[in-house]
């Protein structure tokens, strides 16, 4: 089961609706706790992939990226699939994941997948999603989620 998480919507529920930026540790903590609750609530249905959609999010700083993505992965609630990332988002998230020796999947606009984070953790993540049939190689040699 894939759970969809609208990060921008959670952000606006967490801080003033005026702000679209994922900045500061306190904000990151509040958003992460909401994501954890959402995953736990749906966990009864067997969430295997949490798709975190960053569309609409402005700036992400390193502190907030650490507090949300890295801390979530340390709890291993599900495989994290990040989508809607701008270049600036990607840089901050990749950096904090690498520092922690963690990895996540990034879903490109065409639906293919790549990894972010530490190379060894990224290789292990690819092996895991292939072994669990969550993703499969495409005809072009990329990786994509398996239907259903």
Partner 1 sequence: MTRLVEVPAQFDDRSFDQFAAAFAEAGRNGERLLFDAHAAEWASPFGLVGLLAAGQAAGHRDTGHAAKPLLTAPTHPDVLGYWTRAGFFREAAELFEIHGKIPKVRVTDESELLLPVTPVHAAEDVHAVVSRIQQRASAILASELGLDPKATMGFAMALSEACQNIVEHAGTGGWAAVQAYNWRRTLGRRVVVIAVGDAGVGFRHSLEPTQSRRLGDRWGDAAALEAALIQGVSRFRDPGRGQGLAGIRRYLARWNGKIAIRSGTARIAIVPPWDEDVPLKDGLPLFPGAQVLIIIPEQESAER
Which positions touch partner 1 (CB under 8 A)? Answer: 15-16, 18-21, 23-27, 58-63, 66-67, 70-71, 86-89, 91-92, 95-96, 99-100
Q: Cβ of residue 99: shortest distance to partner 1, in angstroms? A: 6
Given the complex with partner 1, which of 3 and 27 has the nearer CB atom? 27
Strand order in the sheet with 2-6: 2-6, 49-53, 79-83, 103-107, 112-117, 143-145, 135-137
Q: How far is CA 15 from CA 10, 30, 40, 66, in A?
A: 9, 9, 22, 18
Q: Cβ of residue 142: shortest distance to partner 1, in angstroms? A: 24
Q: Cβ of residue 98: shortest distance to partner 1, in angstroms? A: 10
């Amino acid at each position: 089961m894939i759970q969809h998480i609208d990060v921008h919507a959670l952000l606006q529920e967490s801080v003033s609706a005026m702000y679209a930026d994922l900045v500061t540790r306190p904000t990151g903590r509040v958003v992460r706790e909401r994501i954890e609750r959402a995953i736990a609530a749906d966990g009864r249905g067997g969430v295997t992939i949490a798709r975190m959609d960053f569309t609409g999010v402005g700036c992400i700083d390193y502190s907030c990226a650490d507090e949300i993505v890295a801390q979530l992965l340390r709890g291993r609630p599900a495989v994290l699939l990040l989508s809607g990332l701008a270049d600036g988002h990607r840089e901050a998230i990749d950096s904090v994941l690498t520092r922690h020796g963690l990895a996540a999947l990034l879903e490109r606009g065409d639906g293919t997948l790549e990894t972010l984070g530490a190379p060894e953790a990224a290789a292990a993540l690819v092996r895991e999603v292939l072994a669990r049939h969550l993703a499969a190689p495409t005809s072009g040699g990329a990786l994509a989620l398996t239907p259903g």
